[in-house]
Amino acid sequence: MISLPIYCGTVLRAALRLARGILRLAIHVAVIAAIVALLGGAGATYAHLRAIEGQVRAAVAQAYGPSGNGRPGSLPVDATAARANGQFYGATRAQKLHGQIAATRGKPFSVLLHALGAPGVGYPECRAIAGAYGLSDLLALARSGALTVAIRDLHGVGPATAASLQGFLADNTPWIASLAGRNVQVAREAAPAAVGGPLSDKSFVVTGALEMGSREDAEALIRAHGGAVSSSVSAKTTYLVAGVKPGGSKMTAARKHGTTVIDEQGLRSLLS
């Protein structure tokens, strides 16, 4: 026969286990509710920031539209919204975009195309694209959904870059189209005269800081001697020119594809 103290102790332990189980269940329910609320709030914040981004683009479109004066107008964005998620949107971003576009005046179309800020589209790719199409052609292809196929085989572009530009231009056609006639170059760039040279039939990617000047200076030197330039290393890349503090991703890609890595002196040796 079980004594009363033993029986009471057994009941007490069972009650404690039940209480702990109920507490754990309550905690799980609270955590799940918090996650659901957080995800809902994140979705609302993202949607709000997308709306703010639309206002930024609209301001630039207004500045460069038919009746615009080349200056971004004021934006109906309150300070709280502009600081959502720790990001600064609104007038500051519009001003930055405007400055990038204004700085392209008098420069080739490729410079303008790069200044638009399409994700993942570097200047070498913009140069290749601008040599094949003008702005009106690009926008027409983007509207029809045919841009990716049209440009993916251009030197240095590739499917991912082509798809990124397709989506960007399709989403932003109205304000980008308004740039035509606003004292910026939108026509297809004349193809450079074929130049035979020591770098003919060779493809280069440049990374890191160089003594000869900016990366653009090095790329121009390579093109002037018959070489081709891309912004990312692929199986088609002949040389990666690495200066001080080269990009880690480019060095990794060079090892992956077996691309020869040379320094600035190595590039000069190829020119001699």
Q: Which two tokens stand for residue 132?
A: 């094949």
Whole-number pLDDT of residue 108: 87
Whole-number pLDDT of residue 2: 53
Q: Is the dihedral of CA 127, 132, 134, 139 positive or negative?
A: negative
Q: Are 135 and 116 in contact (CB under 8 A)?
A: no
Characterize the bridge pairing of strands 260-262 and 228-229.
Answer: unpaired
State the CATH architecture for 203-271: 3-Layer(aba) Sandwich (3.40)
Q: Which two tokens stand for residue 29?
A: 């329910």
Q: Are 75 and 94 in contact (CB under 8 A)?
A: yes
Whole-number pLDDT of residue 21: 67
pLDDT values of the chain reduced to their tens digit, one per residue, 272 residues: 556 566 666 767 777 777 676 766 655 555 445 444 444 444 444 444 455 555 555 555 555 544 444 444 433 333 333 333 334 445 566 667 777 888 888 888 988 899 888 888 888 889 889 988 999 999 999 999 999 999 987 877 888 999 999 999 998 888 888 888 778 888 888 755 545 788 988 999 999 988 877 777 788 888 888 888 887 888 989 999 999 999 899 999 999 999 999 999 999 999 87
Q: Which two tokens stand for residue 185?
A: 């170059």
Half-sphere exposure of 58 (CA within 13 A, CB side): 11
SS3 of residue 156 by DSSP: coil
Nearest to 207 by CA among 238, 239, 160, 234: 239
Whole-number pLDDT of residue 169: 92
Fold of 103-191: DNA polymerase; domain 1 (1.10.150)
> What are the φ and ψ backbone dihedral angles of 40, each rounded to 5 degrees?
-65, -40
Whole-number pLDDT of residue 1: 52
Whole-number pLDDT of residue 26: 59
